[in-house]
Amino acid sequence: DYTVKDRTLEFLQKTDGINLCNSSGLIVFGDVMSVKEFNVSKDKASLDLRMDFSKGFVNLGMKISNIDWRFISDVLSLPSVLEGNADINVSLSGNISRPDGSMSITSTTGSVISVPYDNFNVEVDFSDNYAHIKEIAVSKRNEISIFARGDFPLWFDKTLSEKMRKKPINVVYEIEDRKLSILRYLSRGYVGPCSGKMLLKGSFGGTYEKIINNGRLLVTGGSFKTKNYIKDMSVEISLIENLIKIDKFNFKSGAGKLNIYGQLELDNFNIKDFDIRLVTDDKGFFLRVPQLPIPGVIGSKTFLRDYSAGELNFDVRVQGTPVKPKVFGSILLENTRFTFPGDANDESLDFFIPENTQFDLKLITAKNTRFENSFVYALINGFLYIRGPYNNLRTNGIVETSTGRIDYLGLGFNILNAKLEIINAADGNHVYIAAEGETTIFSNAGNESETIKLIVDRSELSNISQDSVRFSSKDNPSMNSRKALEKITRTERDVKADIKDVENMSDFNMKQRVFRLIDQTFATPFTKMILRKTRLIDDFRVSYVQTADDVCVAKDQTFVNLLLGTKYSAEKNLTNQIFLGYSITFDELDKKLDLHHEIGIIYKLTNNLFLIGNYELESIERFRQPDRRLMLQYQIHF
């Protein structure tokens, strides 16, 4: 409701089914416009305003109670860095070009950039187009205290902008953290400080056109619990005329220590350029990488209990500008166990690297460096050069191994020697591989053994021919590759076929073996990485379940027939205890393609005990009973 009388507007509104606020007040129009007894309230929040305004002059008093910080941020189009409620008092009087006044802000519960406080107090006076900070005090009891005071230009008349931007700024501040709690709050619990103190003292000077920063940061006795345990952190950083100098920055992880040196130059509050060096001591720096989980016996990250980790010795330098930094140096891997590719679906892997970042790194493997994935376990030695822009990296190097295992055709081949060469050419990276391994097989009766060798002649990884993959018998050197391959497939399938039929193995069968070698050893890991990016599955595997007739019977050389006997499995973790899988097997019945579909579920009862169920869907042709099982399985991890 409102009334207008004698150039006076009076209004009164109460909450009802439509209006959510109470409001009342008087507005008098004349040579001086006056707002009297103006009040708006909703729940516990309220606004009281009085104001007299005439040409060039203002007299204002405003009191806001229990206002939400987020509402203020939305009204002023500011970032929402504050949370909680506050009481605000503002008064201004005098010429609009240079009013005098004051402002006070108090809040008892809230947060600044996710850092909580239990006391927030601001006292500011305004005069001569300057804001004089009497006090800014923010604190959380027994943890954090922030204090600031000083002066900076603040004007309301736009015609004064050019003049006031050249006026001096003088603000000093101090931040003390008695328990390094700020790191816990800013990392949202990822970093758990155990002990330590931080003290930051600094100042802003200069003008708006060129702000000058000075200060000093000290951290002593810092210890943290993260994915990697960090302890004995010590930091001394100085800030002199926009130059941040890292005088001391070191901490331990494992037995080794990481030292960081260098400097960063600021342009106002932005980083202009930097030159930082990261160096480990002789003991190396222990690093665990959760984004590279090493597969366990189940083949799913739900049950993983180990991650890629090792002791790194490195001397790396990062310098340049934020838009085009350069990273160069050397990294030595010791006592390291790692896998690749990793969990591309892990969001914690996300971090920002500018596309124009230039790399010039040398990676060197030293003692006890092991590589593992679902098919290979090997101790490796060698080096890699990584050069070029981040969006077009080029690699050169050689990695060799003489110890390890390759899983192929259901058997484990012990590596005798293997070499991976990466050569950078004008048309991109070319990868060449050569390998030799052996396995021991037994006759059906189990009383005779024979050693079969797997040989991969040096070939480009993307173009391995069937002639490059050979098998031989260590006990019978005159045995040809086909006979040796037949011995392996007989062992895997326990087939009772006469050895004389080996001579009938067709070129198609050899092509099928080579196809599977490439598929299992090289294609599957990359397929797994790509499928994980879809977030529909967590793992992807390939295995083989051939029938006894497949080796010696000639096939039509079609792509589908190359897949006969191949089983593809996709897996998904529903919860931390329930694991669901689906597989499809390419089979042949009565010279027709027959697909076997199977659904599996694993329920983790304890760390080593699992309830496993397999349910095979009925085949359309119904030549046999579907395989359906429910069992308990106890697994031992070595």
The answer to whether 66 touches 60, Cβ cutoff 8 Å, is no
Q: Who wins on pLDDT, 381 or 49?
A: 49
Out of 7-16, 57-66, 484-493, 535-544, least confident range = 535-544
Predicted confidence (pLDDT) at residue 499 exceeds the cutoff of 60: no
CA distance 411 to 424: 34
What pLDDT does residue 107 have? 95
Read off the pLDDT of each residue in 116-140 and give the average, rounded to a whole number.
95
What pLDDT does residue 229 have? 63
Predicted confidence (pLDDT) at residue 563 exceeds the cutoff of 60: yes
Read off the pLDDT of each residue in 386-412 and give the average, rounded to a whole number.
77
Predicted confidence (pLDDT) at residue 500 exceeds the cutoff of 60: no
Q: Are strands 628-634 and 57-68 parallel, antiparallel or unpaired?
A: unpaired
Q: Who wins on pLDDT, 491 or 486?
A: 486
Report how far apart, in Å, the C-alpha atoms of 346 and of each of 170, 290, 351, 524, 629 are. 46, 9, 11, 19, 33
Q: Who wins on pLDDT, 296 or 497?
A: 296
Grade residue 561 by pLDDT with cuts at 50, 70 and 90.
Answer: low
Short-list 339, 341, 298, CA closest to 571: 298
Where do the structural domains in the chain lie, given as residue ranges? 1-55, 56-156, 168-275, 284-392, 399-505, 514-634
What pLDDT does residue 457 have? 87
pLDDT tens-digit series, residues 432-454: 888 888 888 766 544 577 888 88
Q: Are strands 8-13 and 256-267 parallel, antiparallel or unpaired?
A: unpaired
Q: Give, for 338, the enclosing helix (H) or strand (E).
A: strand 325-338
Predicted confidence (pLDDT) at residue 130 exceeds the cutoff of 90: yes
Read off the pLDDT of each residue in 232-258 and give the average, rounded to a whole number.
87
Q: How many helices (H) and strands (E) does the chain have?
A: 7, 37
% of the chain residues with pLDDT over 90: 24
pLDDT tens-digit series, residues 137-168: 999 999 999 999 999 999 988 888 999 999 99
The answer to whether 181 touches 202, Cβ cutoff 8 Å, is no
Short-list 512, 416, 529, 440, CA closest to 469: 512
What pLDDT does residue 120 have? 96
Read off the pLDDT of each residue in 546-566 and give the average, rounded to a whole number.
53
The answer to whether 99 touches 156, Cβ cutoff 8 Å, is yes
583 Cβ contact partners less than 8 Å away, ≥ 6 residues apart: 567, 568, 569, 570, 596, 597, 598, 600
Output the average pLDDT for the chain. Answer: 78
CA distance 502 to 557: 19
* DSSP secondary structure letters along 171-211: EEEEEEESS-HHHHHHTTTSSEEEEEEEEEEEEEEE-SSSE
Predicted confidence (pLDDT) at residue 583 exceeds the cutoff of 80: yes
What pLDDT does residue 519 have? 54
State in Å, rounded, how far the first CA of the chain is from the last one: 82
Give the range with max mean pLDDT: 121-125, 452-456, 468-472, 562-566. 121-125
pLDDT tens-digit series, residues 299-344: 334 433 467 788 889 999 999 998 899 999 998 988 887 775 455 4
Grade residue 629 by pLDDT with cuts at 50, 70 and 90.
Answer: confident
pLDDT tens-digit series, residues 338-368: 775 455 454 443 445 777 889 999 988 877 7
Short-list 162, 95, 163, 168, CA closest to 131: 168
What pLDDT does residue 577 have? 66
Report how far apart, in Å, the C-alpha atoms of 89 and of each of 47, 97, 111, 140, 313 are. 10, 21, 20, 23, 58
What six digits make up the tokens of 552? 């010696």
- pTM of the full predicted structure? 0.57
